[in-house]
Amino acid sequence: MSKERKIEVKPVVNESGIEIQPLYTAADVEATGGWDMIGEPGDYPFTRGIHKLMYREKPWTMRQYAGFGNPIDTNKRFHYLIANGQTGLNVAFDLPTQIGLDSDDPMAEGEVGRVGMAIDSLRDFEVAFEGIDLDKITVSLTVNGSAAILIAMYLAMAEKRGYDVRRLRGTCQNDILKEFIGRGTWIFPVEPSVRLVGDTIEYCAKEAPKYTPVSVCGYHIRESGANPAQEIAYAFCIAKAYADEVLKRGLDIDEFAGRLSYNFNIFGSIWEQVAKFRAARGLWAKIMKDDYGTKDPRSQWMRMIAGGGGGGLTYEQPEVNIVRGAYYALISALAGTQTMALCSYDEAYTIPTEYSARISLRTMQLLIEEMGLTDTVDPLGGSWYVETLTNQMRSKMVEIMSEVDAQGGIVRLVSEGIVQAKVSAQAYRMQQDIESGSFRKVGVNCYRMEEDEKKVEFHPYKDEDAEIQIDSLNAVRASRDQAKVETALARVAADAAAGVNVMPALVEAVKAYCTVGEITKRLVAVYGRYREPVRF
Amino acid sequence: MTRERPIRVLLAKPGLDGHDQGAKVVARALMDAGFEVIYTGLRQTPEAVANAALEEGVDVIGLSSLAGSHIPFCRKLKPLLDENGLSDRLWIVGGNIPAQDHDALRSIGVHGVFPTGTRLQEIVEFIRGRVS
């Protein structure tokens, strides 16, 4: 008889609150809901991937976040990234552009071109995308508060260059509800903000049906303190709120659901993250089929971008963030993402330099070219651990979504600052756990060292870039047809006041070279400005 | 020596930066340490920060900046603090503040710089040590 040795193991609970066992068997999969939600790649409920062949057919799109200074600088960076093998663009705008201010607005001083490219008028988009084939390189616009104006500008720019807008692909972030939870580039109050998102979805469904007008972001909710299950659950509640807004207008769900997409965070445990995405894919498909009655499988696809995880990166020992980024890319590939925008190692300091963006790009290319990540679909599928955790994560998400509904829905919870207070309290607890050492961060609460920070090369901010931008704005103002500008702005105000879809008026206004600031002012006059509920 | 009233801290988000997770975490930590915290919310101008500091009669003025505009903002805030008789208040800045900017901020008049990664207790102790 062998002598049994009793081994004590420390309990492990993942961030979403699920206890992790030292060993899994098929019985655990059965006990947590079985195999019903797994299916095959390309088939409902798409847990294993939205396409049958996934990366064997086409690797994920590589879309590093880029943009700074003025459109001339940014156009150069775009060409650099494309020359280095990037397959999509992910455009960063400066804060004035994101909250609807022109570059010469007093509030914009010191911020023009700082964290992204400054855009004032259609002229700037013409310069920024010069020489870029919009059929080959799809463009994602990271903008929310002023998204409707910038979508109008992008479509107008493409049309002017001779592209057929009905066939044009691209994405805009345009997820305003999460801006009230984290990131903070809101302009208008919650209700008209949601209506504006509805306007963009409705307009694109009719006029630019290949364009993705919304990328619903769990990403920033996670950055604000949500756990991985909450990240997905809140994002789904938000996406449902937008879908409901559009359905009210009489569109059929299959006319637009296929053009919704997601932007998710990636930092944390590899297993929890992979299970999170697999669970989310199945759950979204089920919601769209059972609750919304979609018929088109595309309407049930949870298409996503994932690769950013700023909250996981550290200020300490920044070069170690290169390795963290490599694991994040691995997670994203194992989870079956459509697009990656990998965070860069200098993110805790500033926006990426050309060098750090290239390292991120090469990290993704390594997985494709050397590591076999594109060889087979859903390589972790069938693992008893991963399938059990996928079932458990899905149950958690359902539970959180039911709580939101029971409390009056996401729009109410966001308007009253309740979600904000909840995730902020969690962020504080997490910070305390990091400081006490109970939540381990390498280089932060273990393996710390004295270091010379000068090793990090920073992206420089140049005041001259802002001056160039203001000169160019003045030149546009001086050369445009002022009567057309006034007529177009008057129509924006009138359509907003009448409560009709403002997109046609916005397209006319940007074509007349009205500026982001001028258009925003007219909309604010009708919609008002958001007042932040500061709750703890 | 015991103070007659708790230490009052103004926490502001300067400029257009919308990243407020850090500011809210610091606000909670300071409240747990027994301080009174007035959090302004987003998009504060230098004038708004100086006015709030004056009206609230705070002992500490804290700015949380993650989008890089900390130096130009502090340059504009400095004369406003001087004009309003607030130059004796403890002035601290935290967030994404690269090491190369720390000296520049101190030369403007900032007393303490707390970059990402700072322990909350360090901020609490710094304030306790300087405000009596």
What pLDDT sits at residue A454?
Answer: 55
How far is A129 from A292, CA to CA, in rounded Å?
38
Inter-chain CB proximity A435 and B41 less than 8 Å: no
Cβ neighbors of A434 (< 8 A, separation 6 or more) are A441, A444, A445
3 state SS for A115-178: CCECCCCHHHHHHHCCCCCCCCCEEEEECCCCHHHHHHHHHHHHHHCCCCHHHCCEEECCCHHH
What pLDDT sits at residue B100?
Answer: 87
Inter-chain CB proximity B41 and A109 less than 8 Å: no
Nearest CA in chain B to A314: B117
Inter-chain CB proximity A349 and B29 less than 8 Å: no
Task: For A469-520, give the DSSP string.
Answer: HHHHHHHHHHHS-HHHHHHHHHHHHHHHHHTS--HHHHHHHHHTT--HHHHH
> Which domains are assigned to chain B?
8-130 (3.40.50.280)
How far is A510 from A485, CA to CA, in rounded Å?
9
| H-only helix segments in A270-375 | 270-286, 320-334, 354-369
Q: How far is CA A289 from CA A235, A284, A286, A300, B100, in A?
A: 18, 8, 5, 7, 54
Encode pLDDT of A230-254 as tens digits. 999 999 999 999 999 999 999 999 9
Give percent above pLDDT 90 in chain B: 92
How far is A282 from A284, CA to CA, in rounded Å?
6
Quote helix, strand, coil % in chain A, to nearest 5.
50, 10, 40
> Cβ contacts (< 8 Å) between B99 and chain A: which residues?
453-454
Q: What does the domain layout of chain A look like in residue ranges?
A: 19-405
**Of chain A residues 212-251, which have a CB less than 8 A from chain B?**
223-225
> Cβ contacts (< 8 Å) between A431 and chain B: which residues?
25, 29, 120
The mean pLDDT value for A93-111 works out to: 96
- In terms of CATH architecture, what is A19-405? Alpha-Beta Barrel (3.20)
Longest CA–CA span in chain A (Å) reads 97
In which band, very low, low, confident or very high, does the pLDDT at A264 lie, cut at 50, 70 and 90? Answer: very high
Is residue A53 over pLDDT 80? yes
How far is A307 from A327, CA to CA, in rounded Å?
10
Environment class of residue B10 by beta-carbon count within 10 Å: exposed (0-12), middle (13-18) or buried (19+)? buried
The mean pLDDT value for A389-393 works out to: 98
What pLDDT sits at residue A8?
Answer: 86
> Cβ contacts (< 8 Å) between A458 and chain B: which residues?
98, 100
> Cβ contacts (< 8 Å) between B42 and chain A: which residues?
184, 532
Give percent above pLDDT 70 in chain A: 98
DSSP assigned state of A45? T
How far is A70 from A463, CA to CA, in rounded Å?
11
Give percent above pLDDT 90 in chain A: 92
> Cβ contacts (< 8 Å) between A182 and chain B: which residues?
18-21
CB A327, CB A364: distance < 8 Å: no
User: Which amino acid, one-letter code, is at B118?
Assistant: T
Kindly report the average pLDDT of chain B as a whole number. Answer: 95
**Of chain A residues 34-93, which have a CB less than 8 A from chain B?**
none
How far is A415 from A177, CA to CA, in rounded Å?
9
Kindly report the average pLDDT of chain A as a whole number. Answer: 95
Q: Measured between CB atoms, which of A184, A425, A444 is closest to B20?
A: A184
How far is A281 from A261, CA to CA, in rounded Å?
11
Q: How far is A458 from chain B (nearest CA, A)?
A: 9
Is residue A2 over pLDDT 60? no
CB A149, CB A504: distance < 8 Å: no
Choose the mutation target among A101, A146, A186, A534 for the interface with B, i.e. most B CBs under 10 Å: A534
What pLDDT sits at residue A347?
Answer: 86
Encode pLDDT of A300-324 as tens digits. 999 999 999 999 999 899 999 999 9
Per-residue exposure over A518-531, b if at least 16 CB sit within 10 Å of its own CB, e if not:
bbbbbbbebbeebe
What pLDDT sits at residue A431?
Answer: 96
Q: How many CB pairs under 8 A join A and B?
A: 97
Q: Which of A25-34, A61-70, A144-153 has the lowest mean pLDDT?
A: A61-70
> Cβ contacts (< 8 Å) between A314 and chain B: which residues?
117
Is residue A37 over pLDDT 60? yes
Encode pLDDT of A341-367 as tens digits. 999 999 888 888 999 999 999 999 999
What pLDDT sits at residue A6?
Answer: 77
Encode pLDDT of A409-443 as tens digits. 999 999 999 999 999 999 999 999 999 999 999 99
Cα–Cα–Cα angle for A147, A405, A178, rounded to 5 degrees: 25
Inter-chain CB proximity B25 and A534 less than 8 Å: no
In which band, very low, low, confident or very high, does the pLDDT at A493 lie, cut at 50, 70 and 90? Answer: very high
Q: How far is B78 from chain A (nearest CA, A)?
A: 16
Q: How far is A349 from chain B (nearest CA, A)?
A: 5
Q: How far is A101 from chain B (nearest CA, A)?
A: 10
Q: Measured between CB atoms, which of A99, A314, A454 is closest to B16?
A: A99
Q: Which of A10, A20, A16 is nearest to A426 (CA)?
A: A16
Q: What are the two backbone dihedrals, phi and then psi, of residue A415, each rounded to the nearest 5 degrees? A: -55, -40
Nearest CA in chain A to B23: A424
Is residue A535 over pLDDT 70? no
The mean pLDDT value for A388-409 works out to: 98
Is residue A202 over pLDDT 60? yes
Q: How far is B3 from chain A (nearest CA, A)?
A: 26
Encode pLDDT of A438-463 as tens digits. 999 999 999 999 876 556 677 788 88
Inter-chain CB proximity B98 and A458 less than 8 Å: yes
Nearest CA in chain A to B19: A183
For residue A62, the cross-strand partners are: A340
Inter-chain CB proximity A428 and B31 less than 8 Å: no
Structure tokens of A490? 């008057």
